[in-house]
């Protein structure tokens, strides 16, 4: 089963993608994670991506598509995948449809004020990427012991800019998938396990 999970930053799509990946035994493909690895490894692609992300801008379609294509045709994806972070534009949706058939698109709907609060108040492990709330008393990553810091693209003003871009460039994709009868819209403000149960029921698991 080939799935796409969509939603604004902070909607919980990464969390849900990870859970559904384990439930269905298919890989969770996060273009964001792939990009962050390029940034960490300081590759040429990573340097280009870093400049975009730090201002809240989208990485251009050609570069993002190349990154995805290098992952989506690996052997572990033969039974399906859950894709997180792509597509983000109508052009990307068309590119994806040319690559592979999509069975379902899950959209997690979350209010902007909640998104801003969630993202601007989180810290990220500099080593493994695990995320924590600033309100917690955690000083070091509980998974690997790495240092915690706020990513530049998680600052409030950048989050607001990313939401503006999301509404302008990504929301129109919903009508595209709705017209194909692939879209499932879910309230992303519900408890995590409730959202998971709804997704699984929609997938008829």
Active-site annotation holder among 13, 36, 50, 118 = 13
Active-site annotation holder among 36, 50, 118, 122 = 122
Active-site annotation holder among 48, 71, 151, 155 = 151
Q: DSSP letter string over 141-181?
A: -TTT--BEE--GGGSHHHHHHHHHHIIIIITHHHHHHHHTT
Active-site annotation holder among 50, 104, 118, 162 = 162
Phi then psi dihedrals of residue 63, to 5 deg = -65, -45
Omega before 87 within 30 of 0, i.e. cis: yes
155 is catalytic: no
Both tokens of 52, joined, read 């975009």
88 is catalytic: yes
- Region for 145 from its dihedrals, namely left if φ exceeds 0, alpha if ψ lies in -120 to 50, beta otherwise: left
Q: How far is CA 33 from CA 46, 60, 67, 89, in A?
A: 11, 16, 11, 19
Active-site annotation holder among 36, 50, 88, 118 = 88
CB of 110 within 8 A of CB of 189? yes
71 is catalytic: no
Point out the residues that are catalytic: 13, 88, 122, 151, 162
């Amino acid at each position: 089963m080939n799935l796409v999970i969509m939603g604004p930053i902070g909607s919980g799509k990464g969390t849900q993608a990870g859970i559904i990946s384990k439930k269905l035994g298919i890989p969770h493909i996060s273009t964001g994670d792939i990009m962050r690895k390029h940034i960490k490894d300081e590759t040429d692609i990573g340097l280009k991506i870093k400049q975009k992300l730090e201002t809240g801008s989208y990485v251009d379609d050609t570069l993002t598509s190349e990154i995805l294509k290098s992952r989506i045709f690996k052997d572990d994806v033969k039974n399906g995948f859950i894709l997180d972070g792509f597509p983000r534009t109508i052009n990307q949706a068309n590119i994806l449809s040319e690559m592979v058939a999509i069975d379902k698109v899950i959209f997690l709907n979350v209010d902007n004020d909640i998104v801003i609060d969630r993202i601007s108040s989180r810290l990220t492990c500099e080593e493994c990427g695990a995320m924590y709330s600033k309100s917690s008393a955690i000083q070091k990553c509980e998974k690997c012991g790495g240092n915690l810091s706020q990513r530049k693209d998680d600052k409030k003003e950048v989050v607001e800019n990313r939401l503006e871009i999301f509404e302008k460039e990504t929301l129109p994709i919903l009508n595209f998938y709705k017209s194909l009868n692939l879209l499932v819209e879910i309230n992303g403000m519900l408890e995590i396990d409730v959202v998971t149960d709804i997704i699984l029921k929609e997938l008829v698991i």
